[in-house]
């Protein structure tokens, strides 16, 4: 188990995180942005679990945090979908560049 | 005795100005004339008492009058030595001046009760008169050269307000502007002169200034004569520039152009300001600084020649004018020229100070008969409703009192004994004869001309042709006649006041005697002038016209006041406006405004660029956030730990 | 590939596979409970939700627009830079494991801890998250409600 080691897991989660960030910054479609956000959140979960297992094996805090994060991600995804649907009704498109009404 | 009551002399008119200025129009317009006159009466009485105390009761030291500083209050301290004080100085010339100013002002106030009756802005008129009286009194009582400058400007402002009193007449407005601008321009020279003198002597106080700059051994004098600019010492520059300021106010050539136009104001104003008081401020200034002037011969020479030239110049023009007030204006300029050159040829101290004493004496007598002339002219204008000689004539039956008093004044100014002008003119001519023969010759010739044009004026108004003026309201009210009578009596009697023992260049009494042989020449010339005027003007005939045609071009030039106004207009329009004004306007519009606009445009451009950051696109914001986060991360990790 | 796929549906499926992969990672780290929760909630719930919304709002067979080239390059550069930075930190840091007794992350232990109010108890966050879920549910219904025109 420890031959894999904490560092490697962390590197995996970091790469996942930054892939998610790249997707968030680049995608034109709102729903794909949402998917990138889910990727980011998952990478965070991996981080928590890894730290919990390797560094703080006497506590379960990391596990709990992960549970909560999953829960919150679910809630947030549902609200986000609701907003996107509402926006789609007004703008007839889910291109994120069309929602630029809050400019100067 | 407590000296605080002396401060009432200028302060009473000031209080009247404030009262009438604020409340006069609305609440007090009926009685504003009475208020003004009464307060000035009080001021006159106090000044007479003060002068009497000073001249006859206060002890002289070694027979010399001492200047007394009655009140002094340090206002602005520039350095340990130099400060602007406000104070009241009692000294022979200031005492004489306050008597003259308050008395003539009182006469004018009484006269205006009748003359300006029915004016809508009656209260404003009296307010301005009080302001003027206050400024003039402050001017003559000044202890400090800067204080005199402040009151100088105040007098200029009052004159501006009073000349432009009929502000709906464009000619009056133009005249008041002209007066103010010309005198202001001369005052620029005055200010520079003050600065030069103050810098060299390190003081602004008159007494100390005179003391430092007349002592041949004082370091201040040596410094100021040592430093030169264009070969002329700093002291001379300072004095000449100060004299320029005085020349502007006193309408000496070439700053005289405002005085004839200033006749647009009401006639009592002309009597007060442009005959007796403001225009002599320049003479007063030179007299005040006279010890320093006497030290510096070149400055004094400038004073002499400017004075004598103005006297002759004005006399020639006065012979050709047809507006009676203009004739009187040029006559004033001529008489002030007399006072100036009399100061110019004088020396300081003892017998040599005759010119100084004569000049002050002439100032004193001139105030009375010139204001009488103006008030008489005012009465005539009030009757005839016109200023031109051609509308007058044969008025001696309609206006007897005015006629007699006007005749007295004309005889006085012509220098016929025993009227006042004779005595003062004698002293001047005697001083001129002793010191500078050329000036004497010109002065005698000018006095002949004076007699001629004054009697031309007299005959044209009161004799000549039959008047077609209908006496719709008689000669004038009682308030208009009383000052004429009082001033007439003064014109007869003030020649006998022993000024020589009171006002001299060094304070000691001067013995004078009338040299009858000497005075024969000028009196004879004066009588010749009168006879010439009688033959030409007493009855209407064509001799004047033929003489005028005979003199041809010279007559036309004199009639057009030697084209001085046209010359000034040419200079200002073509040279100043085109060369300086246009360039300055271009710099202002293009460079200054352009720079401001450039700043504004650059700011707008930058803000437009920054505006683009608020694109409203979520992903842009996310990018900024992310990049900022990386930046902070780098910052904190590498720079702070 | 989830982030770069051109067709949206495929992108969703790629996401699905990524999430399953992460679940596998959890299994490998012996936290079976989390892995199970991940599969049930994420894969069975959220991805399904996303696919539904794709159907509701988009013509799912058409291609999506390409991103702006400059911004793509810039963000790729920034992201790789940041990634390199963080990886650098991780590799240079020494992690010190704690030396206390190991506690098994079994379901029994998790349940006991979640509902205990003493130390290491997660009662309070548990309740708060429940409230949050309630609020989110109501919120999404309200936001997505089609307002009927008043008759």
State pLDDT tens for residues B126-154.
889 899 999 998 888 888 888 889 899 99
Q: Check pLDDT > 90 for residue B601.
A: yes
Cβ contact, residue pair B626, C81, below 8 Å: no
Neighbours of B318 (CB within 10 A): 26
Residues of A in contact with B611 (CB under 8 A): 104
- C-alpha to C-alpha distance for B423 and B358, rounded to whole angstroms: 9
At B615, the pLDDT band (50, 70, 90 cuts) reads confident
Q: Check pLDDT > 50 for residue B313.
A: yes
For testing contact with chain A, the best of C2, C3, C85 (most A CBs within 10 A): C3
The pair of structure tokens assigned to C116 is: 């205990």
- C-alpha to C-alpha distance for B267 and B385, rounded to whole angstroms: 12
Alpha-carbon B74 to chain mean position: 27
Q: Check pLDDT > 80 for residue B513.
A: no
- Structural domain for A65, as ranges: 6-91
- Whether A97 is covered by a domain: the verdict is no
Q: How far is B631 from chain C (nearest CA, A)?
A: 10
At A1, the pLDDT band (50, 70, 90 cuts) reads very low
Q: Does C107 touch chain A (CB under 8 A)?
A: no
- C-alpha to C-alpha distance for B519 and B511, rounded to whole angstroms: 17
- C-alpha to C-alpha distance for B394 and B94, rounded to whole angstroms: 42
- Whether A102 is covered by a domain: the verdict is no
Residues of A in contact with B622 (CB under 8 A): 24-25
Cβ contact, residue pair C102, A84, below 8 Å: no
Q: What is the mean pLDDT of residues B233-262?
A: 85
- Whether A99 is covered by a domain: the verdict is no
CB B32 within 8 A of CB B123: yes
- Whether A45 is covered by a domain: the verdict is yes
Cβ contact, residue pair B630, C81, below 8 Å: yes
- Whether A47 is covered by a domain: the verdict is yes
**CA neighbours closer than 13 Å in the CB half-sphere of residue B237:** 19
Q: Report the residue of chain B nearest A97, measured CA to CA.
A: B617
Tell me phi and psi for residue C7, to 5 degrees: -95, 135
- C-alpha to C-alpha distance for A54 and C108, rounded to whole angstroms: 21
Tell me phi and psi for residue B205, to 5 degrees: -80, 140
Cβ contact, residue pair A100, B617, below 8 Å: yes
Q: Over the stretch B265-300, which tens digit does the pLDDT of each residue have?
A: 888 888 888 777 778 888 888 888 888 888 778 888
Q: Over the stretch B163-192, which tens digit does the pLDDT of each residue have?
A: 888 888 888 898 888 888 888 888 898 999
- Exposed (0-12), middle (13-18) or buried (19+): which is C99, by Cβ within 10 Å? exposed
Q: Report the residue of chain A nearest C142, measured CA to CA.
A: A82
- C-alpha to C-alpha distance for B131 and B150, rounded to whole angstroms: 14
Neighbours of A65 (CB within 10 A): 19
Which range of B251-260, B357-366, B552-561, C130-139 scores highest in mean pLDDT? It is C130-139
Strand-strand pairing, B68-77 and B83-90: antiparallel
The pair of structure tokens assigned to B25 is: 């129009």
- C-alpha to C-alpha distance for C82 and A22, rounded to whole angstroms: 11
CB B42 within 8 A of CB B15: no
At A4, the pLDDT band (50, 70, 90 cuts) reads low
CB C64 within 8 A of CB C7: yes
User: Pick from B611, B616, B619: which is nearest to A25 by CB?
Assistant: B619
The pair of structure tokens assigned to A15 is: 């790469």
User: Pick from C71, C74, C82: which is nearest to B630 by CB?
Assistant: C82
CB B292 within 8 A of CB B214: yes
Neighbours of B393 (CB within 10 A): 21
Which chains share 3+ C-beta pairs under 8 angstroms with A?
Answer: B, C
* CA dihedral over A32, A34, A40, A43, signed as positive or negative: negative
Q: How far is C54 from chain A (nearest CA, A)?
A: 7
What is the structure's pLDDT at B76?
75
Cβ contact, residue pair B623, C74, below 8 Å: yes
Tell me phi and psi for residue C12, to 5 degrees: -65, -40
Residues of C in contact with B619 (CB under 8 A): 71
Q: How far is B606 from chain C (nearest CA, A)?
A: 23
User: Pick from B616, B622, B623: which is nearest to A103 by CB?
Assistant: B616
- C-alpha to C-alpha distance for B279 and B248, rounded to whole angstroms: 9
Beta bridge partners of B232: B229
Cβ contact, residue pair C11, A38, below 8 Å: no
CA distances from B193 to B199, B235, B584 (A): 10, 9, 27
Q: How far is C120 from chain B (nearest CA, A)?
A: 32
Q: Check pLDDT > 90 for residue B428.
A: no
CB B331 within 8 A of CB B412: no
User: Pick from A24, A27, A101: which is nearest to B616 by CB?
Assistant: A101
Beta bridge partners of B88: B71
Mean pLDDT of chain B: 82
User: Is the N-terminal amide bond of B52 cis, ω within 30° of 0?
Assistant: no
CA distances from B88 to B10, B54, B137, B144 (A): 10, 13, 10, 9
Residues of C in contact with A81 (CB under 8 A): 49-50, 53, 140, 144
Q: How far is C75 from chain B (nearest CA, A)?
A: 7
Residues of A in contact with B614 (CB under 8 A): 102-104
Please state whether B552 falls in left (phi above 0), alpha (psi between -120 and 50) or beta.
left
Which residues have CB under 8 Å from A11's CB, separation 6+? C87, C90, C91
User: Pick from C37, C75, C80: which is nearest to A67 by CB?
Assistant: C37
Q: What is the CATH number of the domain that holds A70?
A: 1.10.287.3510
For testing contact with chain B, the best of A20, A26, A103 (most B CBs within 10 A): A103
Q: Does A8 touch chain C (CB under 8 A)?
A: no
What is the structure's pLDDT at C119?
64
Q: Check pLDDT > 60 for residue C41.
A: yes
Run of H or E residues at C124: helix C123-144
Rounded to two decimals, the pTM is 0.69
* Interchain CB contacts (distance < 8 Å): A and B: 31
Cβ contact, residue pair B614, A103, below 8 Å: yes
Tell me phi and psi for residue B540, to 5 degrees: -70, 125
Give the SS3 label for residue B599.
Answer: helix
At B602, the pLDDT band (50, 70, 90 cuts) reads very high
Residues of A in contact with B616 (CB under 8 A): 99-103
Which chains share 3+ C-beta pairs under 8 angstroms with C?
Answer: A, B
Q: Report the residue of chain B nearest A102, measured CA to CA.
A: B616
Q: Does C20 touch chain A (CB under 8 A)?
A: no
Q: Over the stretch B416-425, which tens digit does the pLDDT of each residue have?
A: 877 878 888 8
Cβ contact, residue pair A99, B614, below 8 Å: no
Tell me phi and psi for residue B533, to 5 degrees: -65, -40
Give the SS3 label for residue A94.
Answer: coil
Structure letter (DSSP) for residue B495: G
Q: Does B634 touch chain C (CB under 8 A)?
A: yes
Q: C49: closest CA among A35, A40, B309, B458?
A: A35
The percentage of residues in chain B with a pLDDT greater than 90, rounded to a whole number, is 3
Q: Check pLDDT > 80 for residue B58.
A: no
Least confident range of A56-60, B422-426, B470-474: B470-474
Compute the residue count for chain A: 104
Run of H or E residues at C49: helix C47-57
Q: Does C71 touch chain A (CB under 8 A)?
A: yes
**CA neighbours closer than 13 Å in the CB half-sphere of residue B610:** 6
What is the structure's pLDDT at C60?
55
Residues of A in contact with C95 (CB under 8 A): 6-7, 54-55
Run of H or E residues at B35: helix B32-52
For testing contact with chain A, the best of B616, B620, B626 (most A CBs within 10 A): B616
DSSP assignment of B193-232: HHHHHHHHHT--BHHHHHHHHH-TT-HHHHHHHHSEETTE
Cβ contact, residue pair A103, B622, below 8 Å: no
- Whether A101 is covered by a domain: the verdict is no
* CA dihedral over B522, B330, B94, B376, signed as positive or negative: positive
- Whether A49 is covered by a domain: the verdict is yes
- Whether A34 is covered by a domain: the verdict is yes
Q: Report the residue of chain A nearest B623, measured CA to CA.
A: A25
CA distances from B93 to B10, B289, B304, B469, B617 (A): 16, 12, 20, 44, 88
Question: Which residue is associated with the tokens 């608020």?
Answer: B614
* Interchain CB contacts (distance < 8 Å): A and C: 200
Mean pLDDT of chain C: 79
Give the ipTM.
0.83
Q: Does A73 touch chain C (CB under 8 A)?
A: yes
Residues of C in contact with A64 (CB under 8 A): 110, 113-114, 122, 125
Domain count, chain A: 1
User: Pick from B619, B626, B634: which is nearest to C78 by CB?
Assistant: B626
Q: Check pLDDT > 60 for residue B65.
A: yes
Q: Does B635 touch chain C (CB under 8 A)?
A: no
């Amino acid at each position: 188990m420890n031959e894999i080691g904490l560092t490697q897991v962390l590197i995996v989660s970091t790469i996942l995180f930054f892939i998610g960030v790249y997707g968030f910054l680049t995608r034109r479609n709102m729903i794909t942005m949402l998917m990138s956000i889910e990727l980011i959140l998952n990478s965070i979960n991996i981080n928590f679990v890894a730290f919990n297992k390797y560094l703080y094996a006497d506590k379960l805090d990391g596990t709990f945090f992960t549970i909560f994060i999953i829960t919150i991600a679910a809630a947030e995804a549902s609200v986000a979908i609701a907003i996107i649907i509402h926006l789609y009704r007004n703008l007839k498109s889910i291109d994120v560049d069309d929602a630029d009404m809050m400019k100067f | 005795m407590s000296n605080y009551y002396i401060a009432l002399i200028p302060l009473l008119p000031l209080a009247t100005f404030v009262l009438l200025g604020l409340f006069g129009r609305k609440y007090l317009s009926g009685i504003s004339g009475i208020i003004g006159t009464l307060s000035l009466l009080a001021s006159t009485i106090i000044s007479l008492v003060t002068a009497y105390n000073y001249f006859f009761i206060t002890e002289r030291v070694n027979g010399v009058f001492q200047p007394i500083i009655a009140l002094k209050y340090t206002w602005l301290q520039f350095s340990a030595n130099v400060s602007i004080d406000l104070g009241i100085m009692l000294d022979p010339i200031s005492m004489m001046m306050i008597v003259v100013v308050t008395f003539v002002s009182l006469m004018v106030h009484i006269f205006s009760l009748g003359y300006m009756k029915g004016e809508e802005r009656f209260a404003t008129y009296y307010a301005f008169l009080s302001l003027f009286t206050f400024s003039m009194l402050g001017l003559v009582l000044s202890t400090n050269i800067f204080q005199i400058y402040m009151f100088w400007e105040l007098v200029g402002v009052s004159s501006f307000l009073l000349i432009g009193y009929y502000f709906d007449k464009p000619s009056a407005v133009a005249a008041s502007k002209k007066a103010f601008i010309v005198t202001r321009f001369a005052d620029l020279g005055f200010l520079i002169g003050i600065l030069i003198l103050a810098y060299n002597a390190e003081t602004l106080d008159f007494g100390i200034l005179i003391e430092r700059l007349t002592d041949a051994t004082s370091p201040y004098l040596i410094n100021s004569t040592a430093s030169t600019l264009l070969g002329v010492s700093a002291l001379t520059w300072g004095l000449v520039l100060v004299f320029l300021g005085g020349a502007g106010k006193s309408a000496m050539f070439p700053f005289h152009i405002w005085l004839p136009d200033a006749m647009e104001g009401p006639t009592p104003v002309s009597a007060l300001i442009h005959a007796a008081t403001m225009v002599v401020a320049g003479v007063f200034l030179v007299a005040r600084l006279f010890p320093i002037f006497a030290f510096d011969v070149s400055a004094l020479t400038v004073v002499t020649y400017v004075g004598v030239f103005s006297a002759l110049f004005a006399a020639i023009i006065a012979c050709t004018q047809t507006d009676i007030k203009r004739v009187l204006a040029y006559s004033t300029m001529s008489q002030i020229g007399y006072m100036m050159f009399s100061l110019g040829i004088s020396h300081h101290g003892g017998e040599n100070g005759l010119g100084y004493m004569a000049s002050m004496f002439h100032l004193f007598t001139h105030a009375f008969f010139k204001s009488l002339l103006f008030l008489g002219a005012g009465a005539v204008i009030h009757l005839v409703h016109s200023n031109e000689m051609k509308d007058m004539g044969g008025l001696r039956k309609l206006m007897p009192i005015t006629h007699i008093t006007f005749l007295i004044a004309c005889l006085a100014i012509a220098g016929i004994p025993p009227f006042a002008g004779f005595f003062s003119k004698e002293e001047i001519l005697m001083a001129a004869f002793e010191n500078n023969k050329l000036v004497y010759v010109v002065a005698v010739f000018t006095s002949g001309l004076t007699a001629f044009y004054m009697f031309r004026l007299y005959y044209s108004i009161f004799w000549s042709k039959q008047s077609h003026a209908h006496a719709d309201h008689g000669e004038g009210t009682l308030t208009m006649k009383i000052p004429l009578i009082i001033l007439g009596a003064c014109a007869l009697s003030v020649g006998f006041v022993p000024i020589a023992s009171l006002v001299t260049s060094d304070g000691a009494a001067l013995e004078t005697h009338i040299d009858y042989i000497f005075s024969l020449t000028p009196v004879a010339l004066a009588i010749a002038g009168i006879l010439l005027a009688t033959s030409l003007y007493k009855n209407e005939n064509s001799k004047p016209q033929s003489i005028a045609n005979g003199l041809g071009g010279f007559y036309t030039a004199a009639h057009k006041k030697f084209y001085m106004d046209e010359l000034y207009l040419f200079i200002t329009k073509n040279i100043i406006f085109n060369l300086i004004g246009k360039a300055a306007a271009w710099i202002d519009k293009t460079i200054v405004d352009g720079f401001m606009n450039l700043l504004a445009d650059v700011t707008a451009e930058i803000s437009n660029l920054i505006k683009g950051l608020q694109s409203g696109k979520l992903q842009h914001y996310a990018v900024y956030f992310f990049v900022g986060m990386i930046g902070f991360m780098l910052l904190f990790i590498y720079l702070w730990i | 590939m989830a982030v770069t796929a051109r067709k949206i549906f495929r992108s969703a499926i790629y996401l699905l596979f990524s999430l399953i992969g992460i679940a596998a990672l959890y299994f490998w780290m012996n936290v079976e409970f989390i892995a199970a929760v991940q599969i049930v909630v994420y894969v069975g719930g959220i991805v399904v939700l996303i696919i539904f919304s794709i159907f509701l709002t988009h013509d799912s067979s058409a291609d999506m627009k390409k991103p702006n080239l400059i911004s793509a390059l810039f963000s790729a550069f920034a992201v790789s830079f940041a990634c390199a930075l963080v990886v650098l930190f991780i590799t240079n840091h020494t992690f010190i494991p704690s030396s206390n007794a190991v506690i098994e992350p079994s379901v029994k232990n998790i349940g006991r801890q979640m509902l205990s109010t003493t130390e290491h108890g997660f009662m309070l966050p548990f309740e708060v998250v429940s409230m949050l879920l309630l609020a989110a549910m109501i919120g999404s219904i309200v936001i997505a409600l089609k307002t009927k025109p008043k008759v």
